[in-house]
Structure 1
Amino acid sequence: MTEMTQASNLALHRQLLRQSLEDKQGFWYQAAGLLDWSRPADRVLDDSQAPFYRWFSGGELNTCYNAVDRHVLAGRGEQTAIAYVSPLAGKEYSISYRELLAEVRRLAGYMRSIGVTKGDRVIIYMPMVPETAFAMLACARIGAVHSVVFGGFAASELATRIEDAKPKLVLSASCGIEPAGVVPYKPLLDAALDLSRHKVPHCLILGRSQYQAELVPGRDQDWQQALAGAGDAECVALAATDPLYILYTSGTTGQPKGVVRDNGGHAVALAWSMSNIYDIGAGEVFWAASDVGWVVGHSYIVYGPLLVGATTLMYEGKPVGTPDPGAFWRTIEKYRVKSFFTAPTAIRAIKREDPQGLYAAGHDLACLGAVFLAGERCDPDTLSWATQTLDKPVIDHWWQTETGWPVAANLMGVAPVAIKPGSPALPVPGYRVEVLNEQGEAVGANVPGNLVIKLPLPPGTLCTLWQNDRRYTDSYLSMYPGYYLTGDAGYLDEEGYLYVMSRIDDIINVAGHRLSTGRFEEVLCQHPDVAEAAVIGVEDKLKGQVPLGLVVLKSGVQTRDEILYQELIALVRQQIGPVASFRLVSAVQKLPKTRSGKILRGTMRKIADNQDYTPPATLEDPLSLALVRAALTRLGYADALVRASAEQLP
């Protein structure tokens, strides 16, 4: 990119951001033109009940109609809507928009036949199969509020969500498939229903050949049999402010928080983002390598691509082991994927198994325009490796379950700007991101602080928490009145680029010096033998806290631990300084992560400090916690009886 182009695109990005903040009504009125409305909105932004802002009040539309029906009516019914690839099940097929419409109409008709109507809740506890998307769209079609629970969640976790949402129907499957084997879902569902005080009258079960489920007479119905006799249901007009879905995110009290997304603002924001951020339009292929149980799956496997008439790729598999580190690149080549979205942890897993990028070199990726990374902070080393290996722009961008779509990103469809490693670029139009200190005062460029978003949040973000307005305000709006608290720490540079360094809780206070775990991890990953790293703050008698690092080495690396550790300590001392007091480091085979790839730093801190903890329901591999405990014990933490100051360690 030339300096002139960079300057021009940077100016355009800033202009769009300024316009969206100074003329919210006009900016989002224009964006709403991307959709079909049965009734236009009376007010684009309704602030009469602030801080409970509402978008497109008085407007009516149907999200399913906009995602499916209108594309068929426009003559593109034979275009592929969903390309399904499951190396785990050994299946691969495509579903056209016309076929998708037929499936969704039929499933919605079944729901209507058992009494599910507008406003009723439906729990979806399913694997990565097209029927999961059918279920979400069928709910949207008739105005039912869906809540997708990640398939394989523990029965107790599923039960809390059933009790909170009080669904009239649960849609599930006999099993899911993971690289380690088949995961029976139906026994987990049965246990959850027994635990829940809310008794669900209807369950629809999709049978998979890998596991035969036992149906409970009077409550459970077989998916294929039930739909064979069902009629079709047409779309109902819904208020833009009616809820579309509830997505539960873990809460610190043990009670999950149900993020509520509306119909109108959600559809407008996602349609705008597909073209402006991801550079995707009708007929083009978009792949978000995530799971429908996460917000990424909601926004960018199901709704976003379909709202703009694109082809969405649904993948049941992993980046490695299905069967090798070339799985992603093979799929991109075969399906001519234009924009690819995954998590940094997936790239790190590929890098660990294929550090030279040999698997990517064997595939024609000319179709690929850009790779987008989100879900956790992307360290510059991972960004650099992916860029060099793929010879494509690799775009870090930042958002949350609560926001539903990107807060900061490179607008690849309208004004791509220079990539700065470590930064997800600038705030996206609609978001006024500021950096405040603990006293609520704005800080200057390059000064770290708490990242906040000035209210009102743009369309597509959470409206509130399900049946808990008080918890919504207490959790997100109370610390800094007039602002949404993101829970992340970071800074803005002199050009307006945002840097997200860590969660606020991951700031380490070393003898009065506030240091970011993200910065430590960034340095550790620069070592040629390190595939990924996690740093936590642990108790220290002298300094209060000191950093402790755990690293995963690249495949095939052979080095003496003592030499490696001294090199890592020296690297941190060189780049962060002696003030970091970095002397605790160990290698582990794997880091504890959620299934979405987030490293469980909070859980590791509790293990190190001998605090009680409960492994989260989303833990990918229980063995990883045992490996971490052993490493922490070797360093004098976890189960160690006596803890010396880090200064006394060799």
Structure 2
Amino acid sequence: MSAYLKEYLSAKEQPETFWKAQAQQIDWFKFPKTILSIDDNGIERWFSDGVMNTCWLALDYHCQQGRGDHTALIYDSPVTGKKQRYSYNALRDSVARVAGMLADQGVTKGDRVIIYMPMIPQAAMAMLACARLGAIHSVVFGGFAPNELAVRIEDAEPKVIITASCGIEVNKVISYKPMVDKAIMDSRWKPEKVVVYQRPECLADLNHARDVDWSSLLQHAIPSACVPVLATDPLYILYTSGTTGKPKGVVRDNGGHAVALKYSMHTIYRQPQEGVFWAASDVGWVVGHSYIIYAPLIHGCTTILYEGKPVRTPDPGAFWRVCQEYKVDTLFSAPTAFRAIKKEDPNGELLKQYDLSQLSTIFMAGERLDPPTLEWVESHTDKPVIDH
């Protein structure tokens, strides 16, 4: 607590000094001279004259530092039976080619790209490729219906939409392409291209006047370098749920985002760089943006992209299986996930089958953590639970 208070008071009483020190922990193309400024609308701008690239921080920097062979991303998909590992070198090379693919479709710095994809590595690659080009991604949760997607298309006005042919929910295949087609038809804004990643579980029919195949484009793509951007240039737009009116697009800039995420991995999560961090969320949510993709990769550790559920893929031991198999240090998810596990395995019998000795801390966020769920997780895992 004394360490926390020291950090808190330092940030509160000397914010520019404090955040300048944190900014020095990331690799800038041009370190900012101005730490904090106030624009004409009274809005704080952090590191306004700093030049950087978020994809560089997440991938290229680690490769340059000789850590390219370290595992960057683990894809675990119990719904398809697939598992893949990507080193920092391999992920950088893939993302550079995806960025080249998007550049070939006319995507440049400042353009918007909507990503409507399931939890597959190509979703992460698409996000990082946009960051690499200085384009602004808007990830739309794959479970959203066409009307919800249409509203976001109208607002973001994307040059390109990136999607997959389908998503998989436990034992059900959901075709994405018809929903994308309906959303575009219902939207006043029409994207120039729709890039479709074909999954073998369900192949999409392409409209050849507008749709292009991911794999075909990738064969001819020339890898793109990282485009320098200002710290205050947007990285992404993420929309609110719209349950209380029209969804509102929250714009996150590059610099403050990267500095804060790097800081959080050290001080909040205490994540070892050689370890494994697992945010059991979805890239369609802000937790997925920040703690599946950007924070772990900027930190230089291994992150897990999990295409499955806490239960029924195949059972309530799914989370514990992943933690044991990949020696997860930090698990971050929503209380709802643990309530589902508790409901189907109230005595924690499946949990007893797995070795969780590597797991140090469980973090929960996204909603209220009710006392019964907290007590169940603490008592059955014997791990500290931090409620965000």
TM-score by length of 1: 0.59
Cα deviation code 1:388-413 (max 9, x no counterpart): 1001111111xxxxxxxxxxxxxxxx
Distance, in Å, in 2 between the alignment partners of 1:125 and 1:252 is 20
Taking only the aligned residue pairs, the percentage that are identical comes to 55
- CA shift for structure 1 position 184: 0.7
Residue 97 of structure 1 pairs with residue 88 of structure 2 = yes
Q: How does 1:167-246 map to 2 (within 5 A)?
A: 167-246=158-237
Report the secondary structure of 1:43's partner residue. coil
What amino acid is aligned across from residue 103 of structure 1 in structure 2? Answer: S
Is 1:152–1:188's contact at 8 Å kept on the other side of the alignment?
A: no
Q: Which residue number in structure 1 is paired with residue 6 of structure 2?
A: 15
The correspondence of residues 544-583 of structure 1 with structure 2, limited to 5 A, is none
1:240-286 CA distances to partner (integer Å, 9 max, x unpaired)? Answer: 00000000012356321000000000000000001111111322100
1:522-567 deviations in whole A, cap 9, x for unaligned? xxxxxxxxxxxxxxxxxxxxxxxxxxxxxxxxxxxxxxxxxxxxxx
Unaligned runs of 5+ in 1: 1-9, 398-650
- Tell me which of 59, 72, 81 is aligned to 2:63: 72
Partner in structure 2 of residue 325 of structure 1: 316
Give 2:153's aligned residue. 162
Give unmatched runs, 5+ long, in structure 2: none
Q: Which residue of 2 aligns with 1:112?
A: 103
| Residue equivalent to 1:395 | 386
Partner residue, 1:383: 374
2:365 aligned to which of 365, 374, 383: 374
- Kept after mapping to 2: 8 A contact 1:245/1:262: yes
Distance 1:266 1:110 in 2: 26
Structure 1 contact 281–309 (Cα < 8 Å) conserved: no
1:297 corresponds, among 288, 291, 315, to: 288
1:361 shift after superposition: 1.1
Amino acid in the other structure paired with 2:369: C
Shift of 1:339: 0.3
Cα RMSD over matched residues? Answer: 1.0
* 1:284 and 2:278 aligned: no
Instruction: After TM superposition, give the deviation of residue 197 of structure 1 in Å.
Output: 1.0
Note the C-alpha offset of 1:212.
1.3
User: Does structure 1 conserve the Cα–Cα contact (< 8 Å) formed by 2:120 and 2:307?
Assistant: yes
Structure number with greater Rg is: 1
**Cα contact 1:127–1:151 (8 A) shared by 2:** yes
Aligned 8 A contact 1:81 1:100 in 2? yes
Q: Give the whole-Å Cα distance in 2 for the aligned partners of 1:201 and 1:173.
A: 17
How far is 1:180 from its partner?
Answer: 4.6
Q: Does 1:310 pair with 2:281?
A: no
> How many Å apart are 1:48 and its aligned residue?
4.0
Contact 2:115–2:126 (8 Å) recurs in 1 = yes
Is residue 292–residue 305 contact of structure 2 (8 Å, CA) maintained in 1?
yes
Q: Please state which structure has a larger fraction of its residues in helix.
A: 2
Q: Distance in 2 between matches of 1:358 and 1:53?
A: 51
Distance 2:319 2:241 in 1: 29
1:231 match: secondary structure: coil
Matched letter for residue 195 of structure 1? D
| Equivalent-residue separation in structure 2 for 1:35 and 1:354 (angstroms) | 43
| Shift in Å, 1:218 | 2.2
Q: Identify which of 38, 47, 60 aligns with 2:51.
A: 60
Q: Which amino acid aligns with 1:384?
A: E
Map 1:396-545 onto structure 2 (within 5 A): 396-397=387-388
Q: Structure 2 length normalisation: TM-score?
A: 0.98
In 2: Cα distance, 1:153 partner to 1:180 partner: 18
Note the alpha carbon deviations across 1:311-362, whole angstroms, 9 max, x for none.
Answer: 0001011111111111110110010000000111111111111111111111
1:42 CA displacement: 2.2
The amino acid that maps onto 1:392 is: K
